[in-house]
Structure 1
Amino acid sequence: MDYDYIIVGAGSAGSLLAARLSEDPATRVLLLEAGGSDRSFWFDMPAGYARNYFNPETNWMYSSEPEPEMAGRRIYAPRGKVQGGSGSINAMIWVRGQRRDFDDWAAAGNPGWGFDDVLPWFRRLEHHPAGNTDWHSAEGPVGITPMKGKTHPICDRFLAAARELQLPVFDDFNGAQFEGAGIYETNIAAGKRQSSSKTYLTPALSRANLTLRLKVEVTRLVIDDSGQVTGVELRSSDGVETLTARREVILSAGAIGSPKILMLSGIGDPDDLAAQGIAVRAALPAAGANLQDHLCASFYYRSSVPTLNDELRPWWGKLWAGMRYVLTRSGPLALSVNQAGGFFRTDSAEGVPNIQLYFNPMSYRIPANPKARLEPEPYPGFLLAFNSCRPDSRGRVTLASADPAAAPLIRPNYLATERDRREVIEASRLIRRFMQAPALRAVTVEEVTPGPGCESDAQLLSHLREQGGSIYHLCGTCRMGPDAADSVVDAELRVHGLRGLRVVDASVFPNITSGNINAPVMMVAERASALIRGGAALR
C-alpha cells in the first residue's frame, strides 16, 4: 500500500507529526516505530520512568565510546524504544529554553526560528492551568502541571536558600522571566504522563487514514537516480519490506537514530561511508556531526529532616505511595522527582544564565548493574545537580558497521573546551554556595559525595570526570542551516541535495537549548507540520 507520508519514529516529534498530518482525511500517513506499544500503566504513571531506565524492551540503552575527558568511561545514553519514544521514559520537566537559544537558531541562517517566531508554537502545545495568556494556552493537547504546592516540603528550603543568596525566585520558567529559582512545570495532567503519544497520537489512531506499525525497524531509505526519496526499507518479524511514500519520508528517529538511517542510506560524510563500504548518494559531512548534550553532576547530602528517601525506600512506603497513586492519582508517584531548580549565572556567563540546577528531594545512585533497580539511599537525603546550559563541546555519531542491527558509535566529546571545563567548576561552586545558605545548612548533616575532601578546582573537575554523566538531552546531529557543507537540513527541515526527505526531531537543533529538550522537540514538530502542509504562520 502507498502512503503520502511515511514517518520513521513514533517519539515526541513523530507521534505529533502523524497526528497533525492525518488531520487532512485525504492524506494517508504511515508511522513506523521500532519499539512496542505504550499502552501500559507504567507509561501513564510519572514515576514509571524508573522502571524503563534499564529496560531493553523499551530503551535502546546506548552508551558512548570511552570519553577521553571523562576518565575514559562509557557514558550511558538511554533512548526510548517504544511508542512515544524518549518522551515515554523521561522525567517530564517542561522547559522551553531562553530567548537567546532560538534567536541563535535564526541568526545561524534559519529564518522563522527565532524566539518570537516559535513562541506561538510552544503555546499551541499546551493545555495550561494559567489559561490563555501571552505566554501560555489552555487550548493545546499537552496537559501541564506546575508542581508548586505539590512538591516535598524540603524543596521550600532550596527556594529559601535562593532568597538568602539574593537570587530571584519566581513561578514560571516558561514565562517572561527565565533567570532564578523556582518549582518546575511538568507535562503531567491528573497524575498521568502527557507524552505526545498519549496526547496527540492515541486520539488520532481512530482515523482511517493513519496507520501505526510497531516493532518494525527502518534499515535504509529508498532513493531513485534523480535524488528523490521514494520510500523506506524496513525489517520486521515478517522479513524485509519496501514501502513507498508519494510525497515525503520524514525521519523522526531522534539524535542517534536519524543520522544512523541517513548514513546507512548513503547520506553522510563520504570518507565515513567509504570506510563502511556504503556508496555515497548525497555528500553531507554534517550528518552525525554537531552532537551536543547536557553533562550533569550530582552532589549528595544527608539530611536531618525526612525526605522522599524515607517515604519510598521501605516496602511499606512503596506500597502506600502506590495505593495513593492508584486511588487518587496523587503523591510522589504522580510527580517528577526533579522538583525544584532554576537557571543561574556564573563568572563564565555571557549576559544570560549558563547553569541549570535540579533540586531533588530524594537521593539515589545509578546502579552499575543494569538489572538492579533505582533505589533511594538508605538514609534521609537529597541531591543537588547541575548542567551547563549551552556547552561548547561538539561530538559525533558514526556507523560502527553497515549492518543496520549494529549500534552506532556515539562520541559526545564532553569537556573538550577550556570554557566547558571552567564552567563545570563554577557550577560546582554554585552548588556549594547554595549549601552554605542558612535554610539548607540547617537541615544538612553532611555532604556525602563528593565530600569535604573535594575542594580545589582540580578536585571538583576530577569529581565530574569520574562521576558525571549525561542528562540525556542529545541533539544537533542533523543540524539545521543554509549550507550543505556544515548542516543537514534547511530552515524547512528538508535534507540538502535530496527531494522528498525531511528530518524532524532533536537532531535538527543548530544549538542545544537551555534546559530540558522535550518541549522544544515538540515545538519543532508542531511548526514542521505546518511547514509540510504549506502554512508556517501562527500568531
Structure 2
Amino acid sequence: MLVYCMQNNFQKYNALVGGGSSGAVIANRLSKNNKVLLLEAGGDPLWYNYIPVFSLEMLNRYKYHESRWPRGKVLGGSSSLNYMIYARGHELDFNNWANITGDSSWNYKNVLPYFKKSLIYKGEFSKNEKHYGSTPYGSLQVESRNEVLMSDIVTDAAREYGFKDGDLNGPQKSGIGAIEATLKKGSRCSTFTAFLEPILSRKNLHILRYSHVTKIKLDSLGSARGVFFNRHGKKYYVRASKEVVISAGAVDSPKLLMLSGIGPKEHLSELGIKPKVDLPVGKFLKDHIGVLVGPFLFDKPVTTFPERDLGLSTFLEYFVNGTGHLTFPNLLHMHGFISTSKVKQQHQDWPDIQLYFSYAGIYDNMVQDFSGLTGAKKNTLEQYFSNFIGQHGVSIGVALVRPKSYGDLKLQNKDPATPPLLDPRYLEHPDDIKAFVEGIQFVVGFAEKTKSFQSINSRIPDIYFPGCEKHKLKSDEYWECYARHYAFTIFHPIGYNYY
C-alpha cells in the first residue's frame, strides 16, 4: 500500500480530527497559540445549510423501521444540519458530572463562563447578565423566534399551569418559552460560521477538507503519534509533533478508536484488529428519543401550511430582512421542560421531559415528511392522518432527555468505509417508558384542557394509531403502545460513560 507522508509540510502541528460542532471550537481556541492541522471528511456548508426551515429535509434520511443517525459530513458538522435550538444543560447535570468525575471544573458555576464567552447574545434576556453578558471572544450568535399566532396560545396555556414567562437557559428550569436558536440575522449560525469562517486566514490553522481519517498511529507505549487518512483517492500519513485530538462526534470518534486498536479486546480480536489498548469504547451509548403527539385539531386558522404560505415573498423576506417563516427551525416556535412525578418526589426541579411546539398545520406533504423523520411506514401514517389533511392542527413533540436506557456501538468489520452498528436500546429501562408516557399525558392535558387551547377547540380525534387498537384510547397503556410504534431519535447521541 502506497502511503504519502505529509510530515514535511506540517512540522510542529497538532492534528485535530473533525471540524464539527466541537472540533470547530477546538480549532479556533487551539490555533490561537499553536499550529493546528484540521482534518475534515467533508467540505464547506452549501447555501441551503444556512436556511433554518430546511433542517427537516437535511435530517430526513430514514428507511422504514430503521432509526438512522445522520451526521454532518461538513465543516460545522451536525451543527450545519440540526434544528439549532439553543438549550443549555441543567445545573444539576453539570454538578452530577463533577461528582462522578471528581473534577470540580465540570460544576455549572465553572462552565457558565465558557457558555458566556462563546456567545453573541441577541435574544430576549440580555438583562440577565449572570448567564449571558458579553466578551470579546463571542462568536456563536443566538436569536429568539416566537412571533407567530400559536405563540400566544401556548404562552397563555403555560401560565394556566403556573409556569412563569422567562428564560429556559438562565438557568434551565421547568417552564415553556420561546425558541432561542443559533441564528445570525435569521440564518443558521453553525460552529463553522461562528468559529472557523472568521479565522480561515489564520496562519496557525490549516484545514484539509475531504480528508477521511482511517486510523490513529500508536507507538509501543500506546501514545498517539499521528493519523492515516484518505484524500482524493490517495492515502496519507501525518505525524503530530504535539497532540492528536479526536473530535469526530459520538459515532465516528469511537469508530476511529476501535479501528486503531483502542476498544474492547474481545470485539476487536473477532474482527481481526490487533488490540492495543483494552477499553470499553462504544459502551453505554445514550440518545434522546422523542415522539410526535397528535394531531390536535383546531377550529381557528392559527397554523401555517408550507405549500400555501411559503412562496416567493417568503424567500424575499428571508433574504432581504432575515425574518419570516424560513428563519424558524422546522417551523418550531416554542419549547419547554417539565419534571415528571418521580423527579418531583426527590424535591428537585431537574426536568426529564422536553416539549417542542410547531405551528405547521396538517399539510399535504406531512405524511411523507413524518415518515422520513420517524421511520414509520408511510401507509401507516396515511391511515392515521388521511382524514385530517388540510385542517388546522399540530403535533406536539415530547422527548425523554434524561434516559436511563443505554446501548452500544460496535464495528461491523475493519473497513473504515463501513458504518458501525448502533443499538441504543431505547426504552429498555422501565423508568424511561413511565416518564415518556407521563410526558405524553401532560401534553394531552395541556392542549385539550387549558382555556387557551379550548378557545380554538383543540382536541385529538377519537382514532387509534394502527397497532394500538386493543388499548383504551388515551390510557397509559395506549400511549405506551403509541410511543413504542412511533418514537424516533431526535439526533442527540452522547458519549460512552455510564451515569
TM-score (norm 2): 0.86
Task: Quickly say closer, same or farther: Cα 1:240–1:177, change in 2 above 3 A.
Answer: closer
Q: Give deviations 1:379-424, integer Å, cap 9, x for gaps.
A: 3222211112211001111101111111000011111111111111
Please give the secondary structure, in 2, of the residue aligned with 1:402: coil
Match of 2:403 in 1: 391
Residues 209-228 of structure 1, C-alpha deviations (whole Å, 9 max, x = no match): 21111222111101111222
Are the counterparts in 1 of residues 62 and 372 from structure 2 also a CA contact under 8 Å?
no
* Among 55, 65, 70, the residue aligned to 1:78: 70
Match of 2:97 in 1: 105
Contact 1:145 1:189 in 2 (8 A): yes
The 5-angstrom pairing of residues 182-193 of structure 1 reads: 182-193=177-188
Are 2:460 and 1:447 equivalent residues in the alignment? Answer: yes
Alignment of 1:208-219 (within 5 A): 208-219=203-214
Q: Which residue of 1 aligns with 2:151?
A: 155
CA–CA separation in structure 1 for the residues paired with 2:233 and 2:434: 53
Question: Which among 261, 269, 290 is matched to residue 264 of structure 2?
Answer: 269
Check the 8 A contact 2:121/2:143 in 1, yes or no: yes
Determine whether 1:474 maps to 2:493: yes
Q: How far, CA to CA, are the matches of 2:279 and 2:62 in structure 1?
A: 24
2:263 and 2:450 mapped to 1: Cα distance?
51
Q: Pairwise mapping of residues 293-304 of structure 1 onto structure 2 (< 5 A)? A: 293-300=287-294, 301-304=296-299
Q: 1:346 aligns with which of 340, 350, 353?
A: 340
RMSD: 2.4
Are residues 1:118 and 2:111 paired? Answer: yes
Question: How far 1:110 moved relative to its partner?
Answer: 4.1
Shift of 1:28: 1.7
The amino acid across from 1:471 in the alignment is I
Q: Which residue of 1 aligns with 2:16?
A: 7
Higher relative contact order (CA 8 A, sep 6+): 1
1:422 to 416, 434, 441: 434
What does residue range 17-36 of structure 1 map to in structure 2 within 5 Å?
A: 17-24=26-33, 27-36=34-43
Matches within 5 A, 1:274-313: 274-285=269-280, 287-300=281-294, 301-310=296-305, 312-313=306-307
**Counterpart position of 2:3:** none
The counterpart of 2:164, out of the listed 164, 169, 179, is: 169
Are residues 378 and 80 of structure 1, via their aligned partners in 2, closer, same or farther at CA, if it must alter by over 3 Å?
A: farther
Answer 1 or 2: which has greater helix percent: 2
**Which residue does the alignment assign to 2:385?**
none
Q: Which structure 1 residue ranges, 5 or more long, are not aligned? A: 55-60, 67-72, 480-509, 512-539
% identical aligned pairs: 30
Secondary structure of the corresponding residue to residue 332 of structure 2: coil
The answer as to 2:130 corresponding to 1:134 is yes
| CA positional deviation for 1:319 | 2.5
> Residue 232 of structure 1 is aligned with which of 221, 224, 227?
227
* C-alpha distance in 2 between matches for 1:98 and 1:386: 18
Is the contact between residue 386 and residue 427 of structure 1 (CA under 8 Å) also seen in structure 2?
Answer: yes
Q: What is the match of residue 330 of structure 1?
A: 323
Letter of the 1:330 counterpart? T
8 Å CA contact 2:149, 2:303 repeated in 1: no
Residue 177 (structure 1) shift? 5.5
- Cα deviation 1:150-196 (Å, max 9, x = unaligned): 4311121111112122x213221111452211112111121121111
CA positional deviation for 1:297: 0.7
User: Structure 1 residues 171, 424: closer, same or farther in 2, change over 3 A?
Assistant: same
Contact kept, 8 Å, 1:346 with 1:430, in 2: the verdict is: no
Q: Is the 8 A contact 2:128 2:170 kept in 1?
A: no
- Is the alpha carbon distance of 1:181 and 1:368 closer, same or farther for their aligned partners in structure 2, counting shifts above 3 Å? closer
Alignment of 1:362-373 (within 5 A): 362-363=360-361, 364-365=366-367, 366-368=369-371
Unmatched runs of 5 consecutive residues or more in structure 2: 1-8, 379-387, 466-470
In 2, Cα distance between the equivalents of 1:359 and 1:215?
A: 37
Deviation at 1:458, TM superposition (A): 1.7
Tell me, in whole angstroms, the C-alpha distance in 2 between the residues paired with 1:82 and 1:450.
41
SS in 1 for 2:203: coil
Asked if structure 2 preserves the Cα contact closer than 8 Å seen for 1:46 and 1:193, the reply is yes
Deviation at 1:137, TM superposition (A): 2.5
**What CA distance in whole angstroms lies between the structure 2 residues aligned with 1:269 and 1:414?**
23
| Alignment pair present for 1:204 and 2:203 | no
